[in-house]
């Protein structure tokens, strides 16, 4: 029994569209992570203004967790050679990113006191509105489609 698993190639996607959707989601997450990391100190302060329970400690944790999840979701979406366990973890992190943004955008829209959602950190201000909720729901839809099409247990054979 091996202590550390070796990297294996990704399974073939179910459809060509699933591969394109995964690349699209990977591009979105890459742009978001780079923009958030570019001004990370200001991004931390932006998350503090959201008024989350636990205030500064929760905001700092959420900001770091969110950017980490965005970066670690990329290997699954880009179909990189990974260990089977990390392929599953990377896929779930893509779901977590979408879920966190859905909850944040709905909460910020209902709160109505914040001027920037933080999709792109503080590089560009994205005002919370209905369309930011639709964008975050689109993240969830794209994450689900990518997971369905690139499911780690799928071996490409029809049964």
H-run or E-run covering 154:
none
Q: What mean pLDDT is reported for the chain?
A: 90
Closest CA to 80 of 8, 148, 158: 8
For residue 26, count CB atoms less than 10 angstroms from its CB and return exposed for 0-12, middle for 13-18, buried for 19 or more.
buried
pLDDT of 159 reads 47
pLDDT of 113 reads 84
Sign of the C-alpha dihedral computed for residues 110, 114, 119 and 124 taken in this order: positive
Say what angle helices 84-111 and 16-38 make with each other, to 10 degrees.
60
What are the pLDDT digits (tens) for 88-146?
999 999 999 999 999 999 999 998 888 999 999 889 888 889 999 999 999 999 999 99
């Amino acid at each position: 029994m091996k202590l550390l698993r070796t990297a294996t190639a990704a399974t073939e996607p179910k459809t060509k569209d699933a591969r394109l959707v995964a690349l699209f989601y990977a591009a979105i997450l890459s742009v978001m992570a780079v923009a958030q990391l570019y001004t990370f100190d200001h991004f931390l302060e932006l998350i503090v203004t959201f008024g989350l329970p636990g205030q500064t400690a929760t905001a700092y944790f959420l900001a770091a967790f969110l950017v980490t999840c965005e970066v670690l979701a990329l290997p699954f979406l880009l179909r990189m050679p990974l260990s089977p366990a990390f392929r599953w973890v990377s896929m779930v992190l893509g779901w977590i990113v979408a879920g966190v943004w859905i909850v944040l955008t709905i909460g910020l829209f209902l709160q109505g006191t914040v001027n920037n959602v933080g999709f792109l950190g503080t590089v560009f201000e994205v005002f919370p509105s209905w369309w930011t909720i639709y964008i975050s729901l689109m993240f969830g839809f794209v994450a689900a489609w990518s997971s369905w099409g690139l499911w780690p247990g799928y071996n490409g054979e029809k049964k």
